[in-house]
Amino acid sequence: MNSLNRPLNSWFARCILALLCAAAFALPARAGNGVYVSTNPNGANAVLAYTRNVKNGLLTYVGRFDTGGRGLVDIGGAQSHAVVATRTQLFVVNPGSNDFTTFALRDDGSLLFMGVTSSGGVRPVSITVSGNVIYVLNQGQLGVATASCNGFTIGDDGLPISIGTYDVIYEAEAIPTDVFFTRNGARLIVLLNGSDAIDTFSASIAGALTVNRRLTGVSNPVGGAMSPVQPFVAFAALDDDTAPRMISIRATGIALPSIVSSAGLASTISPCWAAATPNGKKVWSSNFAAGSLTLFAGKLNGSIQAVSSYVPASSSPGSLDVAVDQRGKFLYRLRAFNPSGGTAPVPVIEALKITKSTANGGVQLVQTVLLSDLQTASP
């Protein structure tokens, strides 16, 4: 069974966590010390902003900022990377109005609205940025509109401008869920849940895409992450019915993309999101149905090895999007909805300290922040 046909997966689209992970300590504080959540209800979309204490990882609420676009609860599947950022800007998709919003990042963690840009397609679910180039993944709507991946450059005024020439149109059954660049920006990765495939493109500094190479036979890819140290390696969470797991892939652009390794544990149930420490030595999958986090050891050759899982006392709320701070000290994850159905609990953000131990998923819970505001995202 395709995972996107399961009722629980329609919940994934309702709220997404995005931690701004700075690539270097020299970047302004606003590029690395914020946690942002897209509310994505059936109606006016908004972003909840939090500042982050770099010493203890604790979060402080800043405010709610309207995107000027609309969310959409039922987008026909999961999504990842609905919010991304540069050093000075934040971008968030609006699936209900077929556009995405640009914000300027302020020093205090708040957001300044800059404008709304058409996504170039229907139901944008994921967005990625590298340098001056943005790609937006439009999931489309079966029987109504095809899926697409559309490119933009950031103009002198800070607003995105459509590239157009390199837009990618997908087959009707593709159901793409995630798009992201590799570490050096030379490869664009697209996860296609409906097609059980992963597309890799060679990308120029100006955003030109060439040489689409497809890895097939990967069952139910949902969310992924780039390797922070290997320029052509990426990770993908596979919500496979029979063998849920995480894989690492290599996409050099010369040969066909290949699977470097595949791993999982008994507690790796419904893995749908991924995150890694800046040194690439620790990688996690976020497992919705189990509410767990599985730790993988990252190797220099790009392979991963399953180590242990952080399993909370209750699988509810389910485990959703995850991100690691730029120092590799804390992991943040969004938890929402009841994997077993029934009454949904109040969504939360958890701040977890990344420990030196590899036991218990290599993390320790330090804070739970209630997101009562996200209850408005329920249908």
In the chain, pLDDT over 90 holds for what percent of residues? 70
24 vs 84, residue with greater confidence: 84
Predicted pLDDT at 77: 45
Q: Which residues contact 26 (CB under 8 A, 6 or more apart)?
A: none
Higher pLDDT, 171 or 249: 249
d(CA 159, CA 334): 29
**Is residue 4 very low, low, confident or very high in pLDDT (cuts 50, 70, 90)?**
very low
Lowest mean pLDDT among 143-147, 228-232, 360-364: 143-147
Reported as a single tens digit per residue, the pLDDT across 229-282 is 999 999 999 999 899 999 999 998 778 899 999 999 999 999 999 999 999 999
- CA–CA gap between residue 362 and residue 133 (Å, rounded): 34
- The domain 3-377 is classified under which CATH number: 3.90.180.10, 3.30.70.3170, 2.130.10.10, 3.40.50.300? 2.130.10.10
**Mean residue pLDDT across the chain:** 87
The larger pLDDT score, comparing residue 31 to residue 279, is at: 279
User: Residue 29: is its pLDDT beyond 70?
Assistant: no
Written as six digits, the tokens of 262 are: 């595949």
CA separation for the pair 172, 240 (Å, rounded) = 21
Most confident of 3-12, 79-88, 96-105, 250-259: 96-105
- pLDDT (0 to 100) of residue 75: 67
pTM of the model: 0.90
Residue tagged 């793409």 (tokens): 176
Block residue for tokens 């029987």: 143
Quote the pLDDT of residue 132: 94
7, pLDDT greater than 60 = no
Is the pLDDT reported for residue 90 higher than 70?
Answer: yes
pLDDT of residue 141: 87
The separation between CA 351 and the C-alpha centre of its own chain, rounded to angstroms, equals 17
Give the bridge partners for 373, in sequence order.
Answer: none
Residue 38 main-chain phi, psi, to 5 deg? -85, 125
Query: Given a cut of 60, is residue 14 above it in pLDDT?
Result: no
Q: What is the pLDDT of residue 142?
A: 78
Q: Using DSSP bridges, classify how beta strands 168-169 and 160-162 pair: parallel, antiparallel or unpaired.
A: unpaired
Tally of CB atoms within 10 A around 24: 10
With a cut of 50, say whether residue 2 has pLDDT above it: no
* Across 37-43, average pLDDT: 88
**Could you tell me if 50 and 111 are in contact, meaning their C-beta atoms sit under 8 angstroms apart?**
no
Q: What residues contact residue 3 under an 8 Å CB cut-off, 6+ apart?
A: 9, 78, 193, 220, 222, 239, 241, 270
Find the angle CA(320)-CA(322)-CA(328) to the nearest 5 degrees: 160
Which pLDDT belongs to residue 155? 96
Asked if residues 194 and 173 have their Cβ atoms less than 8 Å apart, the reply is yes
Question: 36-45, 74-83, 204-213, 277-286: which has the minimum mean pLDDT?
Answer: 74-83
**Number of other CB atoms surrounding residue 357 within 10 Å:** 12
pLDDT of residue 1: 30
Domain boundaries, the chain: 3-377
pLDDT in tens, 57-88: 999 999 999 999 999 887 644 678 889 988 89
**Residue 342 neighbours by CB under 8 Å, 6+ apart:** none
Q: Give the pLDDT of residue 374.
A: 62
